[in-house]
Amino acid sequence: MLLIRGDIARRTGGNLYDRRIERACRRAGLPLRIISIRSRGEARSELARLAPKVIVMDSIAIPTVAPLIFWARAALRARVVALMHMPTTSRATRTALRAADHVVAVSNDLAGTIARAGVPRSRLSVIPPGCDGIPRVARHSGGARDRRLRVLTVANWSPAKGIATLVAAATRVPEVHLDLVGDIGAGAYRDTVMARIGSNVLASRVVLHGVLGERGLARRYAEADVFALPTEREGYGTAFAEALSYGLPIIAADIGPVRAIVGDAGLFVPPRRVRPLISALRLMTDPWLRRRVAAAARARGRVLPTWALSEAAFVDLLGGEMRMAIAGS
């Protein structure tokens, strides 16, 4: 059983990962089932009803279900795997990670953070997302149509993703056209970003695409000149890996998990800083520099993990946990 919170159909990096591993486990004959829970009581009721031998707790659900770990071991004789997509500052989550039978992190950087929180390396595995989760579409730069640099961003809007910072920087670089893909959300942050986009300086240079399916997203990657996302908090950064697989130069905030993916295929700026981002966007308007960084992006994209490898690794880990749970029954 894989415990999550929220709508598994919503397009997020964590949900995409969870749906992938569920399908891979089912193909391999491991009956992994995704259950979205709203409360600890509901989680306990579902666990008691289904009595799984292995319980995978997604990081978004861990704060809710962490106190059930010891009960699940005693009452169900189950093994518990924590699946971490993002770093955490929650004391309950860190306690749960130390109590879990195994922890899966989606990046080496995140695994290091978890190890420093007290999880032994012997109980910690790194299984990153794949970079090939969208269809292949022939590259076709849209820059020639309007003589602007087409900059793509793929992210659901939140303060940590840095969308407002990127939009603020784009107002100062008239050569830039922004394609923003993702759920714009609601509330004060959405209103702030929309107000900046609605200014006379930027309104004609931004397109909001909303949430796209795989084919629509592939077309956006294929038509972009640059991928930019100054996110200040990531566990891995699937969108960066997908952009690299399309040979797109990257502009990103200088944080460990993103630098580990991008390597020398991008320009890095301090998080939450507008002026360095303006400079990076201006640099990317240089065709020579863009071609050089794009070559590095293509090379980087060829060595990133694929979903086939990641799915196989998770199936192998879950199968081992299942065998240990059965042997301990």
Positions of CATH 3.40.50.2000 in the chain? 2-129+307-327, 143-303
Looking at per-residue pLDDT, the higher value among 201 and 126 belongs to: 126
Looking at per-residue pLDDT, the higher value among 56 and 202 belongs to: 56
Rounded Cα gap, residues 239 and 323, in angstroms: 34
Residue-wise pLDDT for 231-289, tens only, equals 999 999 999 999 999 999 999 999 999 999 999 999 999 999 999 999 999 999 999 99
Average pLDDT over residues 75-88: 94
- pLDDT value for 141: 60
**CA dihedral over 90, 93, 97, 98, signed as positive or negative:** positive
Rounded Cα gap, residues 285 and 170, in angstroms: 12
To the nearest whole number, what is the mean pLDDT of the chain?
93
- pLDDT above 80 for 114: yes
**SS3 state of residue 12:** coil
What is the helix (H) or strand (E) element at residue 129, kind and residue range? none
- pLDDT value for 38: 94
Average pLDDT over residues 153-181: 96
Rounded Cα gap, residues 95 and 140, in angstroms: 49
CA-nearest of 49, 1, 98 to 322 is 1
User: What's the pLDDT band for 41 if we cut at 50, 70, 90?
Assistant: very high
Sheet holding 206-210, edge to edge: 206-210, 176-181, 149-154, 226-229, 250-253, 266-269
- pLDDT above 90 for 222: yes
- pLDDT value for 20: 96
Superfamily covering domain 2-129+307-327: Glycogen Phosphorylase B; (3.40.50.2000)
Rounded Cα gap, residues 251 and 266, in angstroms: 6
How do beta strands 176-181 and 124-126 pair? unpaired
- pLDDT above 90 for 147: no
Phi (first) and psi of residue 57, to 5 degrees: -105, 110
- pLDDT value for 31: 86
> Which CATH class name applies to 143-303?
alpha beta
Rounded Cα gap, residues 164 and 78, in angstroms: 44
- Kindly state the DSSP code that residue 205 receives in the 8-state scheme: G
Average pLDDT over residues 51-62: 95
Which structure tokens are listed for 304?
């990133």
Strands annotated E in 149-292? 149-154, 176-181, 206-210, 226-229, 250-253, 266-269
CB 124, CB 150: distance < 8 Å: no
CB 179, CB 154: distance < 8 Å: no
